[in-house]
Amino acid sequence: MSETEVVRVRGLRKSYGGRVVVDNVDLDVAAGEIVGLIGANGAGKTTTVECLQGLRRPDAGTLRVLGLDPTTQAEALRPRLGSQLQDSALPDRLRVGEAVFLFDATGGGGGEELLEQFGLADRRRSVFAALSGGERQRLFLVLALLNRPRLVILDELTQGLDPAARRSVWAAVDQLRRDGTTVLLVTHELDEAEALCDRVVAMRGGRVLDSGAPIDLVNRYGRQVTIRFTMPPGAAVGGAADAGGTLDRLRRAPGVDEVVDRAGQVTVRGDRPAIAHVGAALVSSGWVPPDLSVQVPNLEDALLDLLRRPDPEPVPEPRPVQPRISHPVSGAQR
Amino acid sequence: MNSAVGRLVRTELTLMKRDPLTLTFVFVFPVVTMLIIGGSFGTDPDPAFDGANPSHWYVASYLTVVVAATGLIMVPVHLASYRERGVLRRFAAAGFPRWSFALAQLVVGLVAIVASSAILLAVAAPVYGVPTVHDWPRVVLAMIAGAVAFVSIGVLLGTLLPSARAAQAVGLILFFPSFLLGAGGPPPNVMGSALRAIAGFLPLTRVTDAVRDPWLGVGTATGSLFVVAGLAAAASVLALRRSAL
């Protein structure tokens, strides 16, 4: 395991009562990366990271986290990890400042600076029960980052938060990226993964389906773009906006898969280069629709397509990602 | 005191002072009921109380009510609540040793018992007087063994029961019969044979006998002391095994 390799998993398998929830998973996380473990509920994400944290014993596979085996060296490993767990809490009457004291193993873990950084300095005397959802998540981030861990595991970090609180937590994770912390982010919110992660690993049914940079996955699985516009009311055959001629040209344009005309409302579907060809065809017809819109797929569109596919063959992790900047996080679900 | 256990104990002691259930059952309930029951049978030596002053009988007995309230209500509800809400998982993931929370509960439980006992005696002193302790070593040994036994039982209940509500329900169901038959209710001498037989099986009865009898000089309760010591040893071992974070 190299200095830049923070997590290395090979052939991880875990079952509960005969039901396999993680099946032959390989995973690599390099120093400085923000890696998203994504998938629907029950994909095996949380179980995977719980094995990485030494909270669960795998049935099979080899795991190295920060050079340690979480199965046999969990007590040595856990203090080096920063963890934000799914569905966990703090005692209701514990104050923010007391929580920092409790989790600060060294007494100099940077708690005050972190409270300032994450906007909780003025909530130091507030009890946990009085914090808003966003404040709780930011406190969990502070606790996860105490003692300056090399790897932070964040599990469903923004679950149940309103949009403003989500953005606030996202900004905090972005700060981790700038600080160079390695982060393993577990989420089923694909917009979150797309916004925060350098690389995502898609899981379904306990298996890794594919992995890569969000943009690469979008290009791989979400190729189809949708173009919409309205034909002018007076469009007539042979006219400047000859509807029939224009639509025929669009159907023949490279990359166009489908053209649908419903009472003048036109929808064109095709690959990304089709955007340019459709635009060129419209311009050459002498008419540019004023309401033209283009919908390009995002990660959610791409992975919903991936997850719809029946019985996908698992794709092994292609290669360890090159180190960039880093940060850690974790989470998981069964 | 910056070790993981030290920080955990300090934090749990702080939280104990803010917990209404603990304040009610461990600190207020024993004092209030001791004041009421202790004044109900007068102060003249009474054969029903093995010839002791009834008020003194109850003052000595009520120390074990504190033990029972701590072990059957405070600890299990607290622990089950932590398990239910994922607090223990968070502690485990943060690197707290597997045994640290059980040890912290034991320490906090013992501190609660000492503090509540001191309050109870301080309140009893001007009202009924504190009876002279005839056999200090036995009384101290019985209190320590009883406290360890009941706090350990509390840890066991907290790890076995699925939720804080379940722990509270079971704890109260166990506490009140133990309280009425084993420490704070009528003396065994006035109970019917059936109730006396049931009371004889209750762990709290054994703890109360082991504390009260040598305290008041009405017996040594050696058998009860051995039973309580055995219970403490067994329950604490089981509790530590069950309490892995």
Q: Look up the ipTM and state it.
A: 0.84
What's the number of CA atoms in the CB half-sphere (13 Å) around residue A11?
A: 4
Residue type, A17: G
B8 touches chain A (CB under 8 A): yes
Structure tokens at B213: 């009898």
Residue B62 makes CB contacts below 8 A (sequence gap 6+) with B30, B33, B34, B38, B120, B124, B183, B184
Q: Give the position of tokens 């219970």.
A: B231
Question: Taking CB atoms and an 8 Å cutoff, what residues of chain B touch A87?
Answer: 86
DSSP B52-116: B-HHHHHHHHHHHHHHHHIIIIIHHHHHHHHHHHTHHHHHHHTT--TTHHHHHHHHHHHHHHHHH
Return phi, psi of residue B30, to 5°: -60, -40
B17 touches chain A (CB under 8 A): no
Q: Which H or E run contains B126?
A: helix B100-127
Work out how many domains chain B is built from and give that number. Answer: 1
Return phi, psi of residue A147, to 5°: 70, 10
CA distances from B146 to A133, A225, B208, B227 (A): 42, 74, 9, 10
Q: Domain of residue B68: give its range.
A: 4-242
Query: Are A203 and A229 members of one domain?
Result: no
Query: Are A106 and A50 members of one domain?
Result: yes
- The series of mean pLDDT values per 10 residues for chain B, 245 residues long, is 83 92 92 93 90 94 94 93 89 82 86 94 95 95 95 91 94 95 92 93 96 94 96 91 65
Is B92 close to A55, i.e. CB distance below 8 A? Answer: yes
Q: pLDDT tens digit string along B40-79?
A: 998 899 999 999 999 999 999 999 999 999 999 999 999 9
Chain B nearest C-alpha distance from A119 (Å):
22
CB B156 within 8 A of CB B237: no
- Position B245 scores a pLDDT of 45
- Position B68 scores a pLDDT of 95
- Position A333 scores a pLDDT of 35
Query: Are A87 and A208 members of one domain?
Result: yes
Indicate which CATH number applies to the domain containing A250: 3.30.70.980
Residue A227 resides in a domain: yes
Return phi, psi of residue A83, to 5°: -130, 135
Residue A264 resides in a domain: yes
d(CA B202, CA B207): 9
Is A85 close to B89, i.e. CB distance below 8 A? Answer: yes
Chain A nearest C-alpha distance from B117 (Å):
25
Query: Are A72 and A210 members of one domain?
Result: yes
Q: Which of A66, A29, A84 is nearest to A150 (CA)?
A: A66
- Closest residue to B94, CB basis, from A101, A103, A107: A103
A130 touches chain B (CB under 8 A): no
Q: Give Cα A324 distance to the centre of its chain.
A: 17
Length of chain A: 334
- Position A308 scores a pLDDT of 58
Question: Taking CB atoms and an 8 Å cutoff, what residues of chain B touch A103?
Answer: 94
- Position A317 scores a pLDDT of 40
Query: Are A153 and A281 members of one domain?
Result: no
Work out how many domains chain A is built from and give that number. Answer: 2
Residue A132 resides in a domain: yes
B23 touches chain A (CB under 8 A): no
Return phi, psi of residue A149, to 5°: -70, 150
d(CA B26, CA B37): 17
What's the number of CA atoms in the CB half-sphere (13 Å) around residue A218?
A: 16
Give A121's DSSP letter. G
Residue B82 makes CB contacts below 8 A (sequence gap 6+) with A91, B88, B101, B158
- Position B77 scores a pLDDT of 93
Is B95 close to A88, i.e. CB distance below 8 A? Answer: no
> CA-nearest residue of chain A to B13?
A94
Q: What is the 3-state secondary structure (H, E, C) of B154-203?
A: HHHHHHHCCCHHHHHHHHHHHHHHHHHHHCCCCCHHHCCHHHHHHHHHCH
Query: Are A139 and A243 members of one domain?
Result: no
Is A94 close to B85, i.e. CB distance below 8 A? Answer: no
Residue A334 resides in a domain: no
d(CA B204, CA B30): 14
Three-class secondary structure of residue B117 per DSSP: helix
Question: Taking CB atoms and an 8 Å cutoff, what residues of chain B touch A89?
Answer: 85-87, 90
Angle at A81 between CA A11 and CA A106, to 5 degrees: 155
Is A89 close to B86, i.e. CB distance below 8 A? Answer: yes
- Position A3 scores a pLDDT of 62
Residue A118 makes CB contacts below 8 A (sequence gap 6+) with A138, A139, A141, A142, A172
Q: Domain of residue A172: give its range.
A: 5-220+304-308
CB A254 within 8 A of CB A246: no
Query: Are A193 and A229 members of one domain?
Result: no
Is A107 close to B2, i.e. CB distance below 8 A? Answer: yes
Residue type, B167: A
Is B18 close to A83, i.e. CB distance below 8 A? Answer: no
Question: Taking CB atoms and an 8 Å cutoff, what residues of chain B touch A55?
Answer: 89, 92-93
Question: Taking CB atoms and an 8 Å cutoff, what residues of chain B touch A104?
Answer: 7
CB A328 within 8 A of CB A6: yes
Is A102 close to B2, i.e. CB distance below 8 A? Answer: no
Query: Are A156 and A50 members of one domain?
Result: yes
- The series of mean pLDDT values per 10 residues for chain A, 334 residues long, is 82 91 94 91 90 92 94 86 85 95 81 87 95 88 87 86 81 84 90 92 91 89 87 58 76 90 89 90 84 89 70 44 31 34
CB A149 within 8 A of CB A82: yes
Size of the A and B interface in Cβ pairs below 8 Å: 56
Query: Are A36 and A134 members of one domain?
Result: yes
Is B86 close to A87, i.e. CB distance below 8 A? Answer: yes
- Closest residue to A79, CB basis, from B87, B89, B95: B95
Residue A330 resides in a domain: no
d(CA A321, CA A328): 14
Residue A113 makes CB contacts below 8 A (sequence gap 6+) with none
Query: Are A204 and A230 members of one domain?
Result: no
Q: Give the position of tokens 């972005």.
A: A174
Q: Give the position of tokens 């009472």.
A: A263
Residue A113 resides in a domain: yes
Q: Which H or E run contains A13?
A: strand A5-16
> A81-84 and A151-155 as β-strands: parallel, antiparallel, unpaired?
parallel
Query: Are A18 and A101 members of one domain?
Result: yes
Question: Taking CB atoms and an 8 Å cutoff, what residues of chain A touch B8?
Answer: 102
**Cβ burial B28-39 (10 Å sphere, 16+ → b, else e):** ebbbebbbebbe
A17 touches chain B (CB under 8 A): no
Query: Are A188 and A106 members of one domain?
Result: yes
Q: Which H or E run contains A179?
A: helix A163-179
Torsion sign across C-alpha atoms A248, A250, A251, A252: positive
- Position A223 scores a pLDDT of 78
A98 touches chain B (CB under 8 A): yes
A37 touches chain B (CB under 8 A): no
Torsion sign across C-alpha atoms A98, A102, A105, A107: positive
**Edge-to-edge order in the sheet of strand A151-155:** A81-84, A151-155, A182-187, A34-38, A199-204, A207-212
Q: Which H or E run contains A139?
A: helix A133-145
Is B11 close to A83, i.e. CB distance below 8 A? Answer: no
- Closest residue to A102, CB basis, from B11, B85, B89: B11
Is A78 close to B94, i.e. CB distance below 8 A? Answer: yes
Return phi, psi of residue B136, to 5°: -55, -50
Strand pairing partners for A38? A187, A202
